[in-house]
Each structure stands twice: as C-alpha cells, then as structure tokens.
Amino acid sequence: MTMQGDAYLKCIDPQCGLEYPIESTNVQCDKGHLLDVKYKKTPSTNLKDVFSNRRNPQGSIFNESGVWRFRELLNFCQIDTENIDECSKYLVSLDGAEGRQSKPYQMSKAAEFVGISSNNLWLQPEGYNPSGSFKDNGMSTAVTHAKMIGAKKIVCASTGNTSASAGMFAANEGINCDVYIPAGQIAPGKLSQAYQFGAQIIEVDGNFDDALKQSLEDAQNHEGYTVNSINPFRIEGQKTIPFRALEYLNWESPDWIVYPGGALGNTSSCGKALMELYEWGWIKKIPRIAVINSEGASTLSDLYNGKFEGEELRWNKGKPNTDLITKYYDHLDKEGIRPKTKATAIQIGRPANILKGLRALEFTNGVATTVSDSEMLDGMSVVGLNGFDCEMASGASVVGIKKLMDEEIIKKDDTVVGILTGRQKDAMLPVDYHKNPENKFAIPPKS
Ligand SMILES: *Cc1c(COP(=O)(O)O)cnc(C)c1O
Ligand SMILES: [Zn+2]
C-alpha cells in the first residue's frame, strides 16, 4: 500500500473544474456539478496480459472478481500490492463474485430476431452478478470508498436493483443500509432482497425521482454515505462492464455498445471507460454508445433528438444548454407527466447523470432512442429462448438494436455488444407473456 496522491476528484464542468481529495464524500462539487475520479498516471498496456493471467485466479478473490481483476484501472485506493490480506483491508468484494460470471455471449435466436449475423452480436448478461444485476459492479467500488472514509451507513434511492445490491454488500461488510423506494413501484423480487439483507426500507410516496431527492437530503442531514450512481465511485466499478466486453474481444473495439437508459450511470461509466482507454492508447477505435429509453420515460431521447423545443441537446464540449433540461422538467411537472413503464428499472424522469451521459454520447458519436413496453417484453423473451435470463428493462438493449438496425443506423456488418443489465425478478412477467398467444415469442401452456 502506497499513498502517492495519484487519484483525486474533479468537477466535470470544464469552466468550473473544482478539485477535491480522494477521501472527499461529496458527490457533487460546491457548485452542484457532478464529479469524476481522475488518475494522474497512465496505466501501461502491459496490464492487458496481467488481467488475462488473472483469469486463472491463483487463490485470490480479487483476481476472481470481474471488477477487481482490473484494479489498476480503478485504483482510487492506491493499492500497489498483490498480497491478498493487504487487499482485503481495503477492497470490498463478495468473495470475488461481482462481475465474475459476466462476459459477452453469442445468442443465435436474438441475433436472428434483430437481423445481425450471429458472429457480430454479443449480449452480456450482467444479471449473473451475486445480487442479480450490473449494480454489483459499481456497488463493490462505492462501498470500498465508503469503507475507506469510515462511513457507518450507506444510503440509496432505488427502483429495486440498487437496493438489493447495496443491502447485500452492506450486510456482508457489517454496515447499515437505508433504502428509499417509491412505494408500490418496485418488483417484489427486488424489494424482498433488500428486506432479506436487513436493509432499512423507507417508503416514499412518489416516484423514483422523489425518492432520490429525499434520500440525498437525509444522507446529508444524518451522515449517510450515498451509493446512487451520482457517486463517482459507482461509475469507476461499472467501467469494468465494457472492460470485460473489450477484453473478450481482444481489445478490438466493437462498432456499438448498447445499454438501456435509466439514471444513465451505465452510459456515463461506459463513456468514461472509453475516454480513458482511448487517451491511454489501449484502443484505437471508439465504439458508438446507443442508449435505449422506454417510450414512457424518454427524457434523454427527447432532449437529444430535439423532440422538445426543437433543440438537440448536446454536451457541446462542456457547455450544454442546461436551461433546456430545466425547462423540460418544468414542462413535465406542469403537465403532470410522470415516467411510466412496466420496466420499472428504467422508469426515471430525471436521469441524475444526464450531463455525463451527454458527454459519453458526444465522445462516442452515440445515439439515443426509445422502445415500447411490448417490444421490451419481446426482447426479454427472445433472450430466454437462448437459455439466458434477463429482466424487462434489459430487453430494451435487444429491441433497441433491432430498431436501430431497421433504421439502418446500425449497419448490417457492424459488430454490436448489448448489455443485459439484470436478471428476471418479476416472476409473473414471463408467465403472463407466454400465456398470451398474441405475443411474438409466446409458447402458451397446454391443458
Ligand atoms: C439500474 C438499472 C438500469 C438503469 O441503469 P442506469 O445506469 O441507471 O441507466 C437498467 N436495467 C436494470 C436491470 C437496472 O437495474
Ligand atoms: Zn463544478
């Protein structure tokens, strides 16, 4: 363990640029902008071999972990040792399980459905994480930082999977966890996990955006440590999702990486990962990011595609028109428009990471679009027919790819990685889907 002061926090707004020490618990700069974890040193590309060798874990849970295997690329703890006992003092891991099982797979029926050759489409099931969603990638790093600064309690708002993940790591580390949920709007399979892990549930009368607001206020007033994706350390851990995809492809960039869009933490982390890898000379080509919103919660897609007041919102080299975002939210409030989709994981009207998301889209020449609930169910179901399991929000990646193919934005010979963000926790959804013979992939029961 050496403390070289290599890592620090920096405001993402280039005009502001405030910096903070790595031990800071601020999730925003003093002017209210989002923060990035920054590193002064350039990691050597020789690490590609180190990471590959660690796939034979040689008795280390930190090599087994699909997050900590890449620890030199998210080394905010400044760890400089392979000693397991020494690492265990700092790094939070569920015995190496986070990110361990997730890598890209080829799924022929999904490929046929979207219209891409089976060799050019990979889907990466992040649902095979210990709490059942990609959130574990970022939660292991956020809780590592919480532990580093001696936090006694972590706090989050959740559409379900964040609370399951936070509850799991908190229980395993022996710290408290408060979870703010929009009452009645969480899949029972997710809520039950938070209870099971002993988290304190706080029901908020409102939607996710209201729950997040209240949790941030309470965290500030009662010394809680916020683990929502506005926490820059969450973003660091989620960088390993594209790392694993790229490693699998021998660090040859695909043409596209596709995510469902909720609070846009994933979009932000993918963008940051690609910005860093490109700057460090690890990749030559920049994959384009596609973000798939639900039609019923389409803030990013609306603003990015100029559906509101005719202006296409852009990061604009760090000078985004934030007034347009404010006006859009005012418009939602005034018209009483609430985010509405059965894919509750992405039922978010005010994506907290929207500016980092815009930055990611600008850097990667990305796109944003929307899909309907019934399309997402088809996407979810075709993944099932390949023997893989994912939840409805993850189906957005699959049908999003199909839509962009149909629109010829994704070209026929493009290589595409779609992220399947979570596993099925809404038990009746597939049952209801298959009972209805009208559904595209339904196999109705016989009697
Ligand atoms: C949280 C979540 C999302 C949304 O991810 P963001 O990073 O908030 O955009 C999508 N799918 C699943 C299954 C999730 O749990
Ligand atoms: Zn700032």
DSSP readout, 294-340? ETTB-HHHHHHTT-STT-----GGG---HHHHHHHHHHHHHHT----
Q: Positive or negative CA dihedral for 398, 404, 406, 410?
A: negative
Ligand 1 within 6 A of 265 CB? yes
Q: What is the pLDDT of residue 3?
A: 45
Percent of residues, the chain, with pLDDT higher than 90: 91
pLDDT in tens, 361-389: 999 999 999 999 999 999 999 999 999 99
Ligand nearest to the CA of 18: 2
At residue 184, what are phi and psi to the nearest 5 degrees? 75, 5
- Please tell me the number of Cα atoms within 13 Å of 167 on its side-chain side: 25
CA distance linking residue 410 with residue 415, whole number of Å: 9
Mean pLDDT of the chain: 95
Residue 133's closest CA among 102, 90, 112, 178? 102
Q: How far, in Å, from the CA of 12 to the mean position of ligand 2? A: 7
Q: Which residues neighbour 310 within 8 Å (Cβ) at sequence distance 6 or greater?
A: none
Quick one: how far is CA 201 from the chain centroid?
A: 22
Q: What is the pLDDT of residue 36?
A: 98
Ligand 1 within 6 A of 189 CB? no
Ligand 1 within 6 A of 262 CB? yes
Q: Is the pLDDT of residue 177 over 80?
A: yes
Q: How far, in Å, from the CA of 347 to the mean position of ligand 2? A: 28
- Please tell me the number of Cα atoms within 13 Å of 312 on its side-chain side: 6
Q: What is the pLDDT of residue 195?
A: 96
Q: Is the pLDDT of residue 182 over 70?
A: yes
Per residue, the 3-state secondary structure of 246-279, as one string, reads HHHCCCCCCCEEEEECCCCHHHHHHHHHHHHHHH
Q: What is the pLDDT of residue 5?
A: 74
Question: Do 307 and 273 touch, CB atoms closer than 8 A?
Answer: no
Q: How far, in Å, from the CA of 347 to the mean position of ligand 1? A: 9
Residue type, 83: N
Residue 186's closest CA among 195, 177, 178? 195
CA distance linking residue 75 with residue 279, whole number of Å: 17
pLDDT in tens, 69-90: 999 999 999 888 788 888 888 9
CA distance linking residue 145 with residue 141, whole number of Å: 6
Q: What is the pLDDT of residue 267?
A: 98
At residue 135, what are phi and psi to the nearest 5 degrees? -55, -30
Q: What is the mean pLDDT of residues 308-322?
A: 98
Mutate which of 299, 421, 424 to test ligand 1's pocket (most atoms within 8 Å of Cβ)? 421
Q: How far, in Å, from the CA of 362 to the mean position of ligand 2? A: 20
> Of all protein residues, whose CA lies closest to atom 5 belonging to ligand 1?
262
Ligand 1 within 6 A of 376 CB? no
Question: Do 304 and 312 touch, CB atoms closer than 8 A?
Answer: yes
> Of all protein residues, whose CA lies closest to atom 15 belonging to ligand 1?
161
Count the helix, strand and coil residues of the chain and give each as a percent rounded to the nearest 5: 40, 15, 45
Residue 90's closest CA among 66, 62, 51, 55? 62
Ligand 1 within 6 A of 384 CB? no
Q: What is the mean pLDDT of residues 144-150?
A: 95
The confidence band for 187, taking pLDDT boundaries of 50, 70 and 90, is confident
Burial class of 294 by CB neighbour count within 10 A (0 to 12, 13 to 18, 19+): buried
Q: Please indicate whether residue 134 or residue 221 has the higher confidence score (pLDDT).
A: 134
Burial class of 426 by CB neighbour count within 10 A (0 to 12, 13 to 18, 19+): buried
> Of all protein residues, whose CA lies closest to atom 4 belonging to ligand 1?
262
pTM of the model: 0.97
- Please tell me the number of Cα atoms within 13 Å of 137 on its side-chain side: 33
What are the chain's domains? 108-131+234-435 (3.40.50.1100)
Q: How far, in Å, from the CA of 155 to the mean position of ligand 1? A: 18
CA distance linking residue 128 with residue 388, whole number of Å: 10
446 C-beta neighbours (distance < 10 Å), count: 4
Q: Is the pLDDT of residue 295 over 70?
A: yes
Q: What is the pLDDT of residue 230?
A: 96
> Of all protein residues, whose CA lies closest to atom 2 belonging to ligand 1?
345
Q: How far, in Å, from the CA of 199 to the mean position of ligand 1? A: 20
Mutate which of 126, 129, 133 to test ligand 1's pocket (most atoms within 8 Å of Cβ)? 133
Q: Is the pLDDT of residue 97 over 50?
A: yes
CA distance linking residue 64 with residue 234, whole number of Å: 20
CA distance linking residue 141 with residue 235, whole number of Å: 9
At residue 367, what are phi and psi to the nearest 5 degrees? -135, 160
Q: Please indicate whether residue 36 or residue 185 has the higher confidence score (pLDDT).
A: 36
